[in-house]
Chain A
Amino acid sequence: MHGYNLAEAQWATVGENDTWMMVPRAVVYLKPTVKTNGKNEEGAWTIIDE
Chain B
Amino acid sequence: MKSRKGITLIALVITIIVLLILTGITINLTIGEHGILTMAKESGKNYQNAAEYEQGAIGNFFNEAQNMIPGENGNSNSEGEGPEDPVGPWRLADKVNIGDYVAYDPTDGVTDPSKLSYTSPKGTGSSHGNGYQEKTITPTSYAKWRVLSKDTTTGEVVLMSNGAVTSNYFQIQGTIGYLYLEQELHSLCAIYGYGKGADTTKTFTYQTGGPRDILKTGTITGSGARSVTIEDINRALGYTPNPTEETWDSRYACFPTTATETGISEQTADVTLTTSKNYSYKHTDVISSDHPLHDLIFQGGMYYIASRTSYIENNRYYLGTFIQSSNYGGIIARI
> Could you list which residues of chain A lie within 8 angstroms of chain B, going by C-beta atoms?
1-11, 13-38, 40, 42-49
Contact = CB atoms under 8 A, between A and B. Distances in A.
A6 B102 contact: no
Interface stretch (B34-42, B89-97, B263-271): B89-97
B218 interface: no
B225 A26 contact: yes
Contact of A4 (B148, B199, B297, B324): B297
Task: Give the one of A20, A26, A33, A45 with max B CB within 10 A.
Answer: A26
Interface in B145-162: 145, 148, 151, 154-161
Given A3-B230, A27-B160, A32-B93, 20 more contacts: A2-B237, A2-B241, A3-B297, A5-B229, A5-B297, A6-B233, A7-B227, A20-B172, A20-B173, A22-B296, A23-B166, A26-B226, A27-B232, A28-B158, A29-B198, A30-B156, A30-B158, A30-B159, A44-B101, A49-B196
A27 B148 contact: yes
A12 to B, nearest CB: 9
B102 A47 contact: yes
Given A3-B230, A6-B228, A30-B198, A46 B103 contact: yes
Contacts of B88: 35-38
B329 to A, nearest CB: 6
B134 interface: no
Contact of B226 (A4, A15, A27, A46): A27
B174 A21 contact: no
B317 interface: yes
Interface of B: 61, 64, 88-93, 95-96, 100-104, 106, 132, 143-145, 148, 151, 154-161, 163-166, 169-174, 177-178, 181, 185, 188-189, 192-193, 195-199, 202, 224-230, 232-234, 237, 239, 241, 294-298, 303, 305-306, 316-318, 320, 322, 324-325, 329, 335
B37 to A, nearest CB: 35
A45 to B, nearest CB: 5
Contacts of B171: 19-22
B298 A30 contact: no
B96 A24 contact: no
B141 to A, nearest CB: 14
Given A1-B233, A5-B230, A16-B324, A30 B297 contact: no
B329 A45 contact: no
Nearest to B177: A20
